[in-house]
Amino acid sequence: MKRIDRREFVRWGVTAGSMLAFGGAPAALVRASGKRETKKKVIVLGIDGLDPDLTELYLSQGKLPTFAKLASEGGFRRLKTSLPPQSPVAWSNFITGMDPGGHGIFDFIHRNPKDYNPYLSTSSVAGGGKTIEIGNYVIPISSGEVKLLRHGDAFWQILERHDIPATVYKIPANFPPAPTKQRTLSGMGTPDLLGTYGIFNYYTTEHAELKPDIGGGEIHDVKVIGGKVDARLRGPGNAFKKGNPDTYVDFTVFVDPVNPVVKVRIMDQEFILKQGEWSGWIRVAFPMIPTQSVPGTCKFYLKQAHPHFKLYVSAVNIDPASPALPISTPESYAQELESKFGPYYTKGLPADTQALDHGVFDEGDFLSLDEDIFREDRAILDYELSRFDSGLLFYYISNADQRQHMFYRFIDKEHPGYDPILAQKYGNVIEDTYIAMDRILAKVLDKAGKDTLVLVMSDHGFTYYRRSFNLTTWLEENGYLRLVNRRQRDAAFPGNTDWSRTRAYTLGLNGLYINRKDREGKGIVAPGAERESLVRELAEKLEAITDPATGQKIISKAYIASEAYHGSYVDEAPDILVGYARGVRCSWATPLGKAPLELFENNMEHWSGDHCMDPDVTPGILFTNGKITSDHPSLCDLSPTMLHAFGIEKQAGMVGSNVVEFHG
Amino acid sequence: MASVINLLFGKTFDLLLYPFQSLNPWVGMTVVSLVAGLLVLAIYGHISDQEGIKAVKDKIKAHLLELRLYKDNFRATTRAQRDVLRYNAKYLYCNLKPMFVMIVPFILIIIQLDLWFGYRPLSPGESVMVKVKMDQDPTQSDLTLQASPGLEIETPPLRIESEKEIDWRVKGLEAGVQTLTVSVAGQSFTKQLVVSGKPLTKISQARVADRFLDRLMSPAEPPIPPNVPVNKVEILYAGQEMSLLGYRMHWIIAFFILSLVFGFGLKGFFGVEV
């Protein structure tokens, strides 16, 4: 998951508040899943970011006995990831068996070609349609709409047509859930209650140590007066009022004068926290109009009581007991899990990498949160395994991905952010996480009978991320892109780009677009030969760039979309997909079209492991108890493979094929 | 006075519900509602103006009939509607006296039922907040809390001067009625804390000082000894709801519905005009 600045995100028009107030989740569906008893069963364990190099290393050290057993009984291969190897793209490949040309997801971020405005690629949320205004109030006449932008049938939709039941837990790139009667819960891409990728709140008396407006979080300057802190938690915009003003829930924190302990009073709830403790799930309801409020859930973490008060509040999650936006199919599935386990994380990728990156968390705080997420996922996995008796079960685990992003600097001694002291303390986190995944796999294998095909896969691998490259700056320096004001290099995209003189631009992590006359609103490059020639020229030049600090090429390959992709949406894709060399990635400014002065930067962030490079650098893994029939299986092959296990032919448009023989 | 009332009502409900502790709470609720329905019928039959109620209901029926018979006559239907409203008001008036008479015992019944149906005991491993309300500034107090071996005090005391309150978080370790001991100003007293229990378990949420209304509202434990600067010791147990076919409801709704069903169902049998 990449960092998206809240203000920019909000500007992109994701007005979830409208949805919350106007439409809400779809009506409950009648049937939970397909009914057919299947002789063969399939369990897929989707471990985000499990890397083959590290897996092989730990296998060779005997630290992953269950993976080793599975590999010896069935097989293990590197799994070709998507182009580009970004999670929404990769999981869409897995879900549909198509490449991005078929499912239309090319990056975390897309842009509207007409006005160049960026938006999150997998879903869109539109506010209410027609409204009537009475005084200060707005009354909706029609509901808003939340839409999944991924194209193509998901494998569980195909299984449903054959009446084969499936349960799909937190699969990424499936918010809102694709329509089905199967049990599905949306994962990565599911927003928080504000409609963003997650905005935490941090209340502190020592605000000066932090920037006031950091991406992914809000810092609140508070004072302890008479042993009391009065604060408020921001909720979604109120779509029932003119101007969509923010809604709030007030709360009070009572601080003991000496002991490191506080009490939080919020709505009608009270709870005590010691320093370094997390609360359980706290329910909040943001008032809209007297009869309407929007429910959410969040967790509190007392980082410090004395001498400085520091309280972290997680992003407000959609309450699964009463989801304000659709997060499951049928709607009752989210509620069923809630009634069994209480509230749970509904926001996609709930581990707060932003809080760690901005110094709100230290590594220990981050791990305590991520461990809580893992504990919750394990409990639900036990439940789903216990009742799994037919069809397919897909289960997603995020921890390996998130921890590798944040802790890679402790296993990479050449990383600019390597800290030997911290490395001593946290150098084993990644290894321990792989070992924890091995234990999860053991649970799955315990449940799987001889008639169960087990697939363990990751969407991509991982490697170190040491150097950042400002692609927009390079385009500008080489005359392909012009800025309106060259002094405002950090100005928001697309306003500071002179489109009448820009031939190519970049947006997202790996995409480079030609400013085409036949596609872009202010395009200047003619289709056909002119475009072709420009694409080739750019690809050649990109592949020749070297990093002056290392003397090495920074781009392994510049892929041309029209050659790499297949399907109906190739024309919407970036014209070039930049495959960065190992250790290099686009800078944080690049995805949003900014052009800092420096072409290269050392990556000094906590975010030190990554995968958004050349797909050949970061393949995923495939373990199975079946026989792998391809030396080079890819993510696109897994959908046909799952269908094949149930005797279903691969569907039109799928570019992959069955790669596992399993006789059960 | 409060002690006598609490003893009377407390023992009655203990006797009534004790046999059903191990059964689904709906069994106890049904029995209590049946008894409450019968009690209401008996009181209502004795203290209400039965003749007057019958006459008023007959009048209402007659004017409703008039409405149907003379539906084409505007003046007649208007007059009939007026009379229906008038006799409805009279009917309500006839019910005022029994309502006032019954409201006090009903409140006492509800207080007792809340002990049995309102809260859920702690599960082993679960934590709860313990709140001590004082007469004085807690930061200047020597008040301490000790727990029996089946409990663990998880936090240091949290003293809130503005609320005259000290809070702790306590974890239940072993099933049973556990004890918290509050010591202050050279005196000690206890507060029970229930960990686990039968499906129907009596739970005392608070132990309070010897003040009439407070005692009535928190009747299950003796009052806090006099001359102790503590008003109340409260355990913030989680609330409990009645569940029927997947639907959850507050116990008081279940109680009112069942009492009404029994009351109306049996009124003919006992010849009570309602």
What value does the CA radius of gyration of chain B take, rounded to a whole number of Å?
Answer: 25
* A606 secondary structure, DSSP code: S
- Decide: helix, strand or coil at residue A138: strand
Nearest to B155 among A254, A257, A274 (CB): A274
Sequence-distant (≥ 6) Cβ neighbours of residue B133 within 8 angstroms: B163, B164, B165, B230, B231, B232, B233, B234
Q: Count the residues in chain B.
A: 274
Cβ distance B155 to A261 less than 8 Å, yes or no, reads yes
Chain A: closest CA distance from residue B271 (Å)? 44
The DSSP secondary-structure symbol of A152 reads S
* Domain parsing of chain B, residue ranges: 2-118+250-266, 120-239
**Candidate from B154, B156, B162 with C-beta closest to A228:** B162
Least confident of A249-258, B127-136, B212-221: B212-221
Give me the residue spans of the domains in chain A.
1-30+124-142+193-324, 32-105+150-190+348-462+619-661, 466-610
Please judge whether B158 and A271 are an interchain contact, meaning their C-beta atoms are less than 8 angstroms apart.
no
pLDDT higher at A419 or B273: A419
Could you tell me which chain B residue has the CA closest to the CA of A277? B155
The answer to whether A272 contacts B167, with C-beta atoms less than 8 Å apart, is yes
pLDDT score recorded for residue A125: 77
Supply the pLDDT for residue A401: 98
- For residue A212, what pLDDT is reported? 67
Low-confidence ranges of chain A (pLDDT < 70): 1-35, 127-129, 143, 212-213
Q: Given an 8 Å threshold on Cβ–Cβ distance, is B163 in contact with A254?
A: yes
CB neighbourhood size of B121 (10 A): 24
Domain topology for B120-239: Immunoglobulin-like (2.60.40)
A268 vs B: CB within 8 A:
no
DSSP count for chain A of H helices, then E strands: 17, 37
Asked if A272 lies within 8 A of B161 by C-beta distance, the reply is: no
Can you give the pLDDT at residue A23?
34
Q: Which of A107, A113, A28, A152 is nearest to A639 (CA)?
A: A152
Q: Which residue in chain B has the smallest CA separation from A272? A: B169
Residue A454: closest CA among A657, A216, A622: A622
Closest partner residue to B156 among A226, A261, A270, by Cβ? Answer: A261
State the nearest Cα–Cα gap between A263 and chain B, in angstroms: 8
A270 touches chain B (CB under 8 A): yes
Query: Which chain A residues are closer than 8 Å to B160 by Cβ?
Result: 227-228, 254, 256, 263
CA distance A255 to chain B (A): 7
* pLDDT, position A127: 65
Q: Which residue of A has its CA nearest to B154?
A: A274
Chain B partners within 8 Å of A254 (Cβ) = 158, 160, 162-163
Residue A226 in contact with partner chain B when CB distance is under 8 A: yes
**Coil, helix or strand for A513?**
strand
Q: Which residue's structure tokens are 């829930």?
A: A249
pLDDT for residue A6 = 34
A259 reaches B (C-beta below 8 A): yes
**What integer pLDDT is reported at residue B247 of this predicted model?**
83
Which of B161, B169, B236 is nearest residue A227 as measured by Cβ atoms? B161
Q: Which residue in A has a C-alpha nearest to residue B247's C-alpha?
A: A339
Which helix (H) or strand (E) element contains residue A661?
Answer: strand A660-661
Q: In 3-state terms, what secondary structure has residue A639? A: helix
Distance from CA of A464 to the nearest CA of B (A): 42
d(CA A445, CA A449): 8
Question: Smallest CA–CA separation between B81 and chain A, in Å?
Answer: 33
* Neighbouring C-beta atoms of residue A460, cutoff 10 Å: 32
Chain A hits for B157, CB-CB cut-off 8 Å, are: 256, 259, 261
Residue B41 has pLDDT above 60, yes or no: yes
SS (H, E, C) A429-477: HHHHHHHHHHHHHHHHHHHCCCCEEEEEECCCCCEEEEEEECHHHHHHH
Residues of chain A in contact with residue B162, where contact means CB-CB under 8 angstroms, are: 226-228, 254
Our CA-based measurement puts residue B129 at a distance from the nearest CA of chain A, in whole angstroms, of: 7
Share of chain B above pLDDT 70, in %: 100
Q: Do B160 and A262 touch (CB under 8 A)?
A: no
Q: Give the nearest partner residue to A272 out of B129, B162, B163, using CB atoms.
A: B129
Q: Which residues, numbered 222 to 241 in chain B, qualify as contacts with chain A under a Cβ-Cβ cut-off of 8 Å?
A: 236
Domain spanning A32-105+150-190+348-462+619-661, CATH class: alpha beta
From the list A221, A248, A227, A222, the residue with the least C-alpha distance to A237 is: A248
Smallest Cβ–Cβ distance between B158 and the set A226, A228, A259 belongs to A259
Instruction: Give the chain B residue whose CA is nearest to the CA of A261.
Output: B158
* Cβ-contact A396, A171 below 8 angstroms: yes
When CB atoms are compared, the residue of B158, B163, B236 closest to A262 is B158
Rounded Cα distance between A549 and A59, Å, is 35
The answer to whether the Cα torsion of A154, A626, A404, A302 is positive or negative is positive
A to B CB pairs, distance under 8 Å: 47
Residue of B nearest to A305 (CA): B158
Are B158 and A256 inside 8 Å of each other by CB? Answer: yes
ipTM: 0.85
- List all residues 6 or more positions away from A134 whose beta carbon is below 8 Å from its beta carbon: none
- CB atoms under 10 Å from CB of A419, counted, come to 12
**Residue B165 one-letter amino acid:** E
Chain A (239-258) residues lying within 8 Å, Cβ to Cβ, of chain B? 254, 256-257
- Nearest Cα neighbor of B141 from B194, B185, B107, B171 is B185
Say yes or no: A262 contacts chain B, CB-CB below 8 A.
Answer: yes
Query: What is the per-residue pLDDT for A7?
Result: 35
Report the residue of A229, A230, A255, A261 to disrupt the B interface, i.e. the one with the largest count of B CBs within 10 Å.
A261
Measured at the CA of A55, the angle between CA A51 and CA A57, to 5 degrees, comes to: 125
Q: Does residue B169 belong to the interface with chain A, where contact is any CB pair within 8 Å? A: yes
Does the beta-carbon distance from A263 to B161 stay under 8 Å?
A: no
User: Quick check: A276 contacting B, CB < 8 Å?
Assistant: no
Using the beta-carbon criterion (under 8 Å), do A260 and B156 form an inter-chain contact? yes
Region of residue B197 (phi > 0: left; psi between -120 and 50: alpha; otherwise: beta): left
- The contacts of residue A570 (CB under 8 Å, 6+ apart) are A101, A561, A562
Q: How close, in Å, is residue B235 to chain A by CA atoms? A: 12
- Contact: B160, A261; criterion CB under 8 Å: no
Residue A254 has its nearest CB partner, among B157, B160, B168, at: B160
Residue A227 touches chain B, beta carbons under 8 Å: yes
Percentage of chain B exceeding pLDDT 90: 85
> In this predicted structure, what is the pLDDT of residue A27?
33
Q: Got the DSSP string for A183-241?
A: EEEE-TT---TTSSS--EEEEES-GGGS-SEETTEEEEE---BTTEEEEEEEEEE-TTB
Chain B residues 104-163 with CB within 8 Å of chain A: 129, 139, 154-163
